[in-house]
Amino acid sequence: MEIHLAYIGRESTILWAGGMVSIKEKKMDEKIKRPPMRKSRMMLDIEEKHGEQLETLLPRLYNEMGLPAMVEELGVNKSTLWYWFLKIGMRIERVATR
């Protein structure tokens, strides 16, 4: 079985039928700060519609629905979502379990 996890800079715990998977991201150097991300009109519209920042919305939706359902839910192309994942620093990891 393969589980896809999406997270940004914090521990994520995913529950599934076979048990629980916990992923911890390596701690980044505190001195390195990212400048605030410039957001497009489409990004701001989606944030306003869902009442949540993209930085928390995208990982949550990816873990709950997966990419194809996100495309339908948000009304954007798959390539646009991948670009946003890169922009916000979101990592996708595949975890193989038995």
Per-residue pLDDT of the chain (98 residues; tens, 9 = 90+): 455 555 555 544 444 444 444 444 444 444 445 667 789 999 999 999 999 999 899 999 998 998 999 999 999 999 999 999 988 888 887 777 77
Q: Establish if 68 belongs to a structural domain.
A: yes
Residue 8, domain extent? 2-25+48-96
Q: Establish if 42 belongs to a structural domain.
A: no
Q: Establish if 36 belongs to a structural domain.
A: no
Q: What is the chain written as a DSSP string?
A: -EEEEEESSS-EEEEETTEEEEE-PPPPPTT--PPPPP--HHHHHHHHHHTS-HHHHHHHHHHHH-HHHHHHHHT--HHHHHHHHHHHT-EEEEEE--
- Please state whether the predicted TM-score (pTM) of the whole model is above 0.95: no
Q: Establish if 70 belongs to a structural domain.
A: yes
* pLDDT for the residue 5: 57
Q: How many domains are there within the chain?
A: 1
Q: Establish if 73 belongs to a structural domain.
A: yes
Q: Establish if 88 belongs to a structural domain.
A: yes
Q: Establish if 14 belongs to a structural domain.
A: yes
Q: Establish if 87 belongs to a structural domain.
A: yes
